[in-house]
Amino acid sequence: MQYRMMAAKIHRATVTEADLNYVGSITLDRELLDASGLLPYEMVQITNLSNGTLWQTYILPGPAHRGDVCLNGPPARHFHPGDLIVVLGFRWVDEREMPTYQPRTVFVDQHNHVTSIATAEEPFTLAPNA
């Protein structure tokens, strides 16, 4: 059996740009991708802590170490520079992988530079008959 699990979370990043005239997606600083393990063109869910908007789109990699977090296309109507967001990536995990499965949470400062990375402290175990 497979489970859709959180693979990575970028916690409380600050939107730096919103470009309504772009085709679509979220541009993330390459440093954030490397720290989280998220991949270019991977689908992610973005939650705006400022207004509760939830959006799903794909990642475009931005230059490293600039702190770019840009919502492109239609989400630019719901995400604005200065808004705090959470970016969540999900993966399918096989039941056999669960004992060693460890999602990552990437914490950032106000300029979207990585301050720390946390993984699960204890491996996840399935309840009997799950």
The one catalytic residue in 3, 25, 50, 101 is: 25
Tell me the CATH architecture of domain 2-119. Beta Barrel (2.40)
Q: What is the largest CA-CA distance in the chain?
A: 51
- The rounded radius of gyration (Å) of the Cα atoms in the chain is 15
**SS3 state at 9:** strand
* Per-residue confidence band for 24, with pLDDT thresholds at 50, 70 and 90: confident
The whole model's pTM is what?
Answer: 0.90
Residue 126, pLDDT above cutoff 70: no
**Where does residue 35 fall: left (phi above 0), alpha (psi -120 to 50 degrees), or beta otherwise?**
alpha
Q: How long is the chain?
A: 130
The one catalytic residue in 36, 50, 58, 101 is: 58
Tokens of 87: 């970016």
Selected residue with higher pLDDT from 100 and 40: 40
- Whether 22 sits among the annotated catalytic residues: the reply is no
Q: What percent of the chain has pLDDT over 90?
A: 85
Q: Within 10 Å of residue 33's Cβ, how many Cβ atoms? A: 22
Residue 123, pLDDT above cutoff 80: no
pLDDT for residue 121: 63
Report the mean per-residue pLDDT for the chain: 93
- Whether 58 sits among the annotated catalytic residues: the reply is yes
